[in-house]
Chains A and B, each alone.
Chain A
Amino acid sequence: MDMRDVSVLVVDDELSVRDSLFRWFKTYGCRVDTAADANEALGKFGDSSWDIVLLDIKMPGMNGIELQRRIGEIDDSVIRIMITAFASVDTAIQALKEGAFDYISKPVNPAQLDHVIRNAVEKRKLLAETALLRKTVEELSLPDEIVGASQPIKRSLELVAEVAKSDATVMIRGESGSGKELIARAIHANSRRKYFPIICINCGAYPEGLLESEIFGHEKGAFTGAQFTRRGKLELANKGTLFFDEIGNVGMKMQMDLLRVLETKQFTRLGGENLITADFRVISATNLDLEHAVKEGRFREDLYYRLNVFTIALPPLRDRPSDIPLLADYFLAKFTKSMGKPIAGFADEALSVLGRYRWPGNVRELRNVIERAMVVAKRDVIQAADLSLPFDEGGCLPAVDSLEEMEQLHIRRILDKTGGNIAQAAELLGIERATLYAKIKKYGLRE
């Protein structure tokens, strides 16, 4: 264990103790300093930061117990080790209860001090690593924020703020990719339930039998393959929020079961007898026309009214074009960090292409387009050609001026279409393979 980057402050009123410990830590290569009393020690915290502080319990003026408390207030991550005479072990234990890491008794056994210091350094290292990892994970795994300054998105966010305060059941309507789950998470994160989980169920992702087991859980032996008892999402969401995505895809039997649960908040696991009560808030989302489904008898009217207490309708991205540059910048910053690829922004043509495209897949599609562009980008600014938008399929022509850029885009699209098959691409383009190779090289379309 390298201790050269460890800093140690020794606080003791006895000069000989300070000197001995100073020399001892010096042989480990630590940065070490000493203080004769609490005031001098606190002063040292003004000048510098310390990993480990060894403090004598008995000192004139402020004693070691009070000093370790004060140091904890300044920086709780500082490892405090008490030095105590045998007679004051009880006092040392009191210090442990108040946050000290350990204590050593006088006269100090070198092996014991070595052991305590190694543990302290290890703990300090782990704390630093944990903090760094937590920060990294938080940054990388943060759900995408709801970005936008347009009137429609502002209105949606106002509704989120309004409904989050209550425990009302919410239905989020919007096209695929418009950010319904983000809105559900935002409601949960701003509600009184935020310290409990939000459990998401994609109702469209399971066959009916499996969905039932996912939601209600099952007892061991409830059906073939049920080898263990398993808690369902309803139980997992206790005190939190239950988010049913694609609620319009739930079958009729399941609709009836859900209605009962939503009314009573009570249920039994599949194959079980015990009645379980759970406290959860329900948010659901759909991109289907539920009113039409009710009229056609495919969705229960009573369940529809039970779920549709408060509605938030999310605008499609094409209805809020002013948000596109903001979203593009947001995703660019996010991917710059996670990919470690320093891309400064978008070329004007690229922004123009983004603004004119109709975004049938909404924000999710925009996110994917930016991510892909970041991967293929060869310059520090994303070009229109990097975006690879399908401009002839429900979109629009990219706003590029030069014939060269248009040619580059077209070749890239054909290569994508043929899965990179040069012979097929050359045939579709109506040019010789050698010519295609030359153009690929010219535009840097491949490594």
Chain B
Amino acid sequence: MRRIYLSLIRPMRIPLLASLPEVLQRVFSLPVAVARSTMDISFAFDPQRQQYHGAAILLRLTENPPPDAARILGVTEADLFVPVFDFLFGEAQLDGLAAVMSTFRLRNENYGMPPDEDQFAERLYKEAIHELGHAFGLIHCFNPFCVMNPSTIIEQIDAKSREMCRQCEKTYEELLRRSGG
């Protein structure tokens, strides 16, 4: 059976991800495995911007994928960018193999607030589901509570739920059925 692979990208604190596979498995109805080795993304570092090139990491994730990979989600604590944008919470190949997300801007500390691990975990789940949703072919949804609602600021991530709306859920099931699981 095909599965979703979580690829840990340095720097990444592994314990944070402990509950993520279970959450993703429930939403996407596919088994989730954590890749054994972590990826070094120093190649994607832009010294001028002091950020990592998200599109370059996406490409690297698709090189030599596990044969049973349905999708691969790279998770990093590094701050991501793609040219023209100043930052991104994450990026995905729409209806492609890979997605990548950063936890860098999901932490309260980034906004001058005290740390809140529960809130951080909730944001991490939402962003992971959102980017994987794109990789499975889902586009943005304008239901404000749907996890596929676009988020360009942290408040938008907090405002939505980590569930897909009925319509996105139906679309996902259809996309999954067509791609043979």
Using a CB–CB cutoff of 8 Å, the interface residues on chain A facing chain B are 1-4, 12, 14, 16-17, 19-21, 23-24, 26-29, 83, 106-111, 113-114
Q: Does B84 contact A (CB under 8 A)?
A: yes
**In the complex, A221 Cα to B11 Cα: how many Å?**
82
**In the complex, A1 Cα to B84 Cα: how many Å?**
24
Q: List chain A residues, Cβ under 8 A from B127.
A: none
Interface-lining segment among B19-27, B34-42, B87-95:
B87-95
The residue on A at minimum CB distance from B153 is: A111
B83 contacts A16, C-beta separation under 8 Å: yes
Instruction: Jot down 25 A-B pairs with beta carbons below 8 A, ordered by A.
Output: A2-B142, A4-B139, A16-B82, A16-B83, A17-B83, A17-B84, A19-B83, A20-B82, A20-B83, A20-B85, A24-B85, A26-B139, A27-B92, A27-B139, A27-B150, A83-B84, A106-B84, A107-B81, A107-B86, A109-B152, A110-B86, A110-B88, A111-B152, A113-B85, A114-B152
A28 contacts B150, C-beta separation under 8 Å: yes
**In the complex, A111 Cα to B86 Cα: how many Å?**
10
A1 contacts B142, C-beta separation under 8 Å: yes
Q: Does B134 contact A (CB under 8 A)?
A: yes
Closest CB in chain B relative to A310 CB, distance in Å: 62
Q: Does B100 contact A (CB under 8 A)?
A: no
A27 contacts B134, C-beta separation under 8 Å: yes
Q: Total contacts A to B, CB within 8 angstroms?
A: 63
Q: Knowing that A16-B82, A16-B83, A27-B140 are A-B contacts, what are 7 other residue pairs whose CB atoms are under 8 Å apart, sorted by A's residue number?
A: A1-B142, A3-B140, A12-B84, A14-B84, A16-B55, A107-B86, A114-B152
Q: List chain B residues, Cβ under 8 A from A23.
A: 55, 82, 91, 93-94
The residue on A at minimum CB distance from B142 is: A1
Closest CB in chain B relative to A28 CB, distance in Å: 5
Q: List chain B residues, Cβ under 8 A from A20.
A: 55, 82-85
The residue on B at minimum CB distance from A16 is: B83
The residue on A at minimum CB distance from B131 is: A27
Closest CB in chain B relative to A232 CB, distance in Å: 52
B134 contacts A108, C-beta separation under 8 Å: no
Closest CB in chain A relative to B39 CB, distance in Å: 21
Q: List chain A residues, Cβ under 8 A from B84.
A: 12, 14, 16-17, 20-21, 83, 106-108
Closest 4 CB pairs of A and B: A16-B83, A111-B152, A29-B139, A110-B152
**In the complex, A346 Cα to B129 Cα: how many Å?**
64
The residue on B at minimum CB distance from A83 is: B84
| A14-B83, A114-B150 given; A28·B88 CB < 8 A | no
**In the complex, A107 Cα to B51 Cα: how many Å?**
13
Q: List chain B residues, Cβ under 8 A from A2.
A: 142
Q: List chain A residues, Cβ under 8 A from B82.
A: 16, 20, 23
**In the complex, A347 Cα to B142 Cα: how many Å?**
54
**In the complex, A1 Cα to B143 Cα: how many Å?**
9
Name the contact of A27 in the complex, choosing from B81, B94, B153 (C-beta under 8 A): B94
Q: List chain A residues, Cβ under 8 A from B86.
A: 107-110
**In the complex, A4 Cα to B138 Cα: how many Å?**
12
